[in-house]
């Protein structure tokens, strides 16, 4: 298959259903934009958001291995463009850490705390 997950493409909307919109990527390939991937926020009616024949920029979210169905997203393309604009304007973006980086965790700090933790555990056990 000539398409891959994460690829950005232009397509044309060929049909709209209550659950999503079908997009033609080329003469032989179609994908589906699920209603949850149309835009950020709640979309109650796709007809108010999209029109048949409209050209859209999409991102490939998934390609099913066995039947070749392609899942697309308008929302991901919107998020990528927003992030590029923010980075270009040199906003004050804060780094986000998945841990408390200001706490001294790591192998050396664990070794330093080991004796204290063992004593605490023994006290709890009543020894």
Within 10 Å of residue 46's Cβ, how many Cβ atoms? 18
pLDDT value, residue 43: 79
Domains of the chain (ranges, CATH numbers): 8-88 (2.40.50.140)
Question: Is the full-model pTM beyond 0.85?
Answer: no
For 37-83, the pLDDT digits (tens) are 888 778 788 888 889 999 999 999 889 888 888 999 988 877 766 66
What pLDDT does residue 108 have?
Answer: 64
Strands (E), the chain: 8-17, 20-24, 30-34, 55-63, 70-73
Residues 109, 36: Cα–Cα separation, whole Å: 45
pLDDT for 32 beyond 90: yes
């Amino acid at each position: 298959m000539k398409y891959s997950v994460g690829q950005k493409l232009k397509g044309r909307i060929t049909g709209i259903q209550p659950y999503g919109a079908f997009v033609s990527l080329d003469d032989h390939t179609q994908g589906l934009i699920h209603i949850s991937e149309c835009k950020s926020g709640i979309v109650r009616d796709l007809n108010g958001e999209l029109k048949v024949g409209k050209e859209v920029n999409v991102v490939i979210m998934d390609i099913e291995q066995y039947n070749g169905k392609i899942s697309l997203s308008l929302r991901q393309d919107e998020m990528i463009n927003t992030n590029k604009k923010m980075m270009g304007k040199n906003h004050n973006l804060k780094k986000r850490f998945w841990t408390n980086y200001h706490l001294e965790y790591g192998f050396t700090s664990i070794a330093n705390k080991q004796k204290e933790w063992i004593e605490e555990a023994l006290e709890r056990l009543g020894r």
